[in-house]
Amino acid sequence: MTAAVAVDQRSHDRAEQLKQLRRQMAEVSGRVGPGRGGPAAAPDLLPASETLLPIPDALAKTLPAGLPRGTVAVVSGARSLPLSLVAAVTAAGGNAAIVGQPNLGLLAAAEMGADLSRLAVIADPGSDPVEIAAVLADGMDLVVLAVGGARCR
């Protein structure tokens, strides 16, 4: 019985912590208000400039329509691609987060034009990096997530 109560209390504490983090992120990003409440809110019709992320010039031919906000994309290989996206978004005044990549070259991002004051770096997201990224996605324009694991051969 004690173990069940302890587990229940931990899950309640975690839920309360997530709720508090979401509230703080909403305050920081200035996105509190009607139509910005989350998944249950009715979608707003926004101009393309607000629904598309800025992309680097090098990707303009590959993504001629741009990259819609909220898109999940898988990138493998060179880290220059996600860094260039971070640079484009932050240079345009957006906010970005990098989760689970402690060795990512922030100098390279800065040299690509990133505004590091608009970048949150969570080097060690703990045991559930996807949940951390989901919380960040509520208030960030771009979230770059690295999930560990062995490569399949």
- The tens digit of pLDDT for each residue in 50-63 reads 688 988 988 888 88
48-145 under CATH 3.60.20.30, yes or no: no
Residue scoring higher pLDDT (136 or 148) = 136
Predicted confidence (pLDDT) at residue 111 exceeds the cutoff of 90:
yes
Distance, CA of 55 to CA of 58 (rounded, Å): 8
- The tens digit of pLDDT for each residue in 17-60 reads 777 777 777 766 554 444 444 444 444 554 555 688 988 988 88
Distance, CA of 34 to CA of 104 (rounded, Å): 36
Residue spans of the domains in the chain: they are 48-145
Name residue 98's amino acid. I
What pTM does this model have? 0.66
Phi, psi of 43 (to 5 degrees): -70, 140
Q: How confident is the model at residue 107 (pLDDT cuts 50, 70, 90)?
A: very high
